[in-house]
Amino acid sequence: MIVMKFGGASLADSSDILRSVEVIKNYSRNHSVILVVSAMKGVTNQLYDIAENIKKKRLKKALQHIDGLKKAHVTTLYKLQSAQPAITESKLVHLFSRLDNFIRYIAKHQITEAQIDFIVSVGERLSGNLMAESLNAQGITACSIDTSYVIATDDSFGNALPLPQKYQTHIQDILCPLINSNIIPIVSGFVGFAPDGRITTLGRGGSDLSASYLAYLFDAHGLYLWKDVNGIYSDDPHRNINARFHKKLSYDQAARMAKNGAKIIYHKAIHYVKKKKIPIYVKNYKNPHLPGTIVC
């Protein structure tokens, strides 16, 4: 069993999604896989902008944002090598319809942190449907799982943490039958639910935390974080060509780098895999043949 997480850069557009699908196809030949996805590149920021517009009573602008996001996702869907795009389109449209109705309602009131979480959680739930459609079209049986009712968290809206394992009955009940049937579960990262059932988010970088926690719960052999760089560097290699590549790091070294501003791994994600000595592989979805960085 391995857990693979694909970040927003690896889901930026239809061509990136198809590249990611090829990576998943290759790894799923020899492993059971749990897949965790972020929102498409830039989508979470746009959803936060929608929430900000609601705060400032700019409902019209927020609705325009939603319409733009809907068009972008549907356009991406039809550029994928899809088998049944109409079914997936209806799922996307349903999510956007719920979001549209929700912000029309809350625009009349003072927006809360819990309501912001509902808004920004939509991105991962959308990308999960796109990934499932693309995988199934390639003959890889996959099912998108909305973690707004799967991963139990505390009620720290905007920065929630998963509850201890004894509270995670939904995860076992939903994911295990899929895994046992050779179906790849596609989990929307970054998202969970509070004790009262409301949607929570795990903070910026929370998809890494979702993936790490699932690796911990399922005793995974490895956690694979797929990025748009070849591994972990001393600096952003896109901006600094002299950035030093790290072939191997300890958990503590990686955590220190993350806390000091390195954005490759969310520092809270390291805690769970370190507990069970599960290695983290940070690799480039565009260059999957390269070894990347191992954190262990």
Quote the pLDDT of residue 238.
78
pLDDT of residue 147: 82
Q: Is the pLDDT of residue 292 over 90?
A: yes
| Average of per-residue pLDDT across 214-236 | 93
CA 63 to centroid of chain Cα atoms:
24
Query: Residue 52 burial by CB count (10 A; 0-12/13-18/19+): exposed, middle or buried?
Result: middle
List of residues 6+ apart from 181 with CB closer than 8 A = none
CATH of the domain at 230: 3.40.1160.10
Give pLDDT, residue 149.
86
**How do residues 6-59 score in pLDDT, each as one tens digit?**
999 999 999 999 999 999 999 999 999 999 999 999 999 999 999 999 999 999
Q: Which residues pair with 192 in a beta bridge?
A: 200
Provide the percentage of residues in the chain whose pLDDT is more than 70.
Answer: 99
Domain count, the chain: 1
Q: What does the pLDDT read at residue 258?
A: 83
Confidence at residue 205, expressed as pLDDT on a 0 to 100 scale:
86
pLDDT score recorded for residue 108: 87
pLDDT value, residue 240: 83
Instruction: Give the model confidence (pLDDT) of 166-195 as tens digits.
Output: 999 889 899 999 999 999 999 999 999 999
Say yes or no to pLDDT of 158 above 90. yes
- pLDDT-based confidence at residue 264 (cuts at 50, 70, 90): confident
Percent of the chain with pLDDT over 90: 84
DSSP letter for 234, please: S
CA–CA distance, 7 with 285 (Å, rounded to integer): 10
Contact 162, 207 (CB under 8 A): no
Expressed in angstroms, the distance from the first to the final Cα of the chain is 17
pLDDT (tens digit, 9 = 90+) per residue, 60-117? 999 999 999 999 999 999 999 777 788 999 999 999 999 999 999 999 888 999 999 9
The tokens describing 8, both together, are 């927003």
Whether the pLDDT of residue 209 is over 90: the answer is: yes
Q: What is the pLDDT of residue 142?
A: 96
Q: What is the pLDDT of residues 115-135, one digit of tens each?
A: 999 999 999 999 999 999 999
Is pLDDT at 269 greater than 80 in this prediction? yes
What is the pLDDT at residue 107?
92
Strand order in the sheet with 184-188: 142-145, 184-188, 33-37, 2-6, 222-227, 280-284, 293-295, 248-249
State the residue range of the domain holding 25. 2-295
| Residues 6 or more apart whose Cβ sits within 8 Å of residue 209 | 161, 162, 189, 190, 202, 203, 266, 268, 269, 272
The C-alpha atoms of residue 198 and residue 287 are separated, in whole angstroms, by 39
